[in-house]
Amino acid sequence: LDAVADRAKFTWRHSYGSSDYSTITNTNTNTSTTDNNKEQQQQPSIDDMLQWGIETFDFIAMDITKTQDRASRGNSFVEGYQDASIIMIGTTTESKSQHMNGLLTFLAPFDWQVWVLTIFTFIVAGLGYQWLEWINDGDSDKQALGYNHPSQTLYYSAMAFTGDCKFEPRTNCARVFVFTIAFWGLILCSAYTGSLASFLVAQNIPGIQVESVGDAVAANYPLCVVKGTATETEIRNTYPQANLIAIPPERQYEIFTNVLDSGSNNGNGGQCTLAVTTMKDWDIVKHDGQINPDCKLKWIGRTFKFAKSGFVTLSDSGTLCSNLIRDVLSVHISEMIDDGTIKGIIDDYTKSRKTNTCRGGDDDSNSDDNGTQALSIIDLGGLFIVVYLVWFVACLAGMINWYFDRRKKERKKA
């Protein structure tokens, strides 16, 4: 809101209101009980809060998703800026003896950047060793030296990846260089073997095999939703027979803990088999260490409905100028979406809420079905950095040694 205010040149902090669901009253929510004939006030819904808010303020600065019912009640929606697409969340279980198929499965443990860097390192290792032996050959028989056979040194460097180091260095600098090659080959070979085993055997697959909300409704799975949200409205309109468990908005994150409890007790611990939520809420929950500590929650199936959420104003015929407010805010928000301002704000907020170490790549339904990720340049970058630093020091030491040996020979000649 501050970013929009700065861009649109308006202020809001001197005239605003904030409230939770329990403090908003609505005169239309009073009902009489049959037990004691006393009137009591019901908990207001999100739509009640919206109705009260747009009649009291110029606009509501909440992430509200547009629905037909809300539009018919006089809500006018500003350009949406957050992904409010409706998705299902479930738990993962470990499955054994699930094998991947494909002729290129042996390349899966590393991503393509690692493979490219590995091949480049083969070449650098072979040429580096050849160069160190060349500048420190002394009076040895040049015909017997490896630098006359570059293909042989390249072959030796490639064999180091398998753990078979065939180099026979003659100088201390070359020995340090070769030790680093052997160490690099050992770590890389171990990482490749372990990652390949995880791709071929131990795979994480969704515990519930459904592809859509329709499949879950057909199987009569209990679905947790936040009461009064667009998610509940859309599912009830599409599937009136759905087995929905509505959680009050003030306890909205219980839809995820209920799913975790159900998954950890074979369906007997929690109320819900699946949670139906929005993408923006899932982006926060998946990295929340209190809600998803063991990274067992997973996006299941396809997106139910694509939507955006944003601010809300009162729709009017022009007498109150709220439509003008909507149009002005929409223009500025659209510009902020185009220049990446809003994405940066949302990313910073999501990172500030991150309290676990779940990987982002296996959190969407478009990731590999086995839940195993290829090792990236970020995972193995430290190894390559250390290797190249040691090689640089070894080559520098070799040059210094060559320089002093050359000066010593020149003095002897003189």
DSSP symbols for 175-223: HHHHHHHHHHHHHHHHHHHHHHHHHHT-EEEESS--SSHHHHHHTT--E
As given in the structure block, the two tokens for residue 112 are 């393509």
In the prediction, which pLDDT does 225 show?
Answer: 93
According to DSSP, residue 243 is labeled -
pLDDT value for 36 = 40
The two tokens of residue 207 are 């515990």
Q: Return the pLDDT at 217.
A: 92
> Cα(291)–Cα(14) distance, rounded to whole angstroms?
36
Question: Hey, how many other C-beta atoms are within 10 angstroms of the C-beta on 221?
Answer: 20
Structure-token pair, residue 34: 């049959």
**DSSP state letter for 160:** G
Structure tokens at 132: 């160190």
CA distances from 325 to 13, 75, 314, 413 (A): 17, 13, 9, 91
Per-residue pLDDT of the chain in tens (414 residues, 90 and over written 9): 888 888 888 888 887 777 665 454 443 444 333 444 433 445 667 777 777 877 777 778 888 888 888 888 788 888 888 889 999 998 875 444 344 445 677 777 888 888 888 888 888 887 888 777 777 665 444 444 444 566 777 777 778 777 777 777 777 777 888 888 888 888 888 888 888 777 665 444 555 678 889 999 999 999 999 988 889 989 999 999 999 999 888 888 889 988 888 765 554 445 788 999 999 999 888 888 888 888 888 898 899 999 888 888 887 766 667 678 888 888 888 999 899 898 898 888 888 888 876 765 444 444 444 445 677 777 777 878 887 888 788 788 878 877 777 777 777 776
Predicted local confidence at residue 95, as pLDDT: 44
Q: Which residues 6+ apart lie within 8 Å of 185 measured at CB?
A: 160, 161, 162, 163, 165
User: Residue 224: what pLDDT?
Assistant: 92
| Residue-range domains of the chain with CATH | 1-84+311-339 (no CATH), 88-98+203-306 (3.40.190.10), 105-200+375-413 (no CATH)
Classify 32 as helix, strand or coil: strand
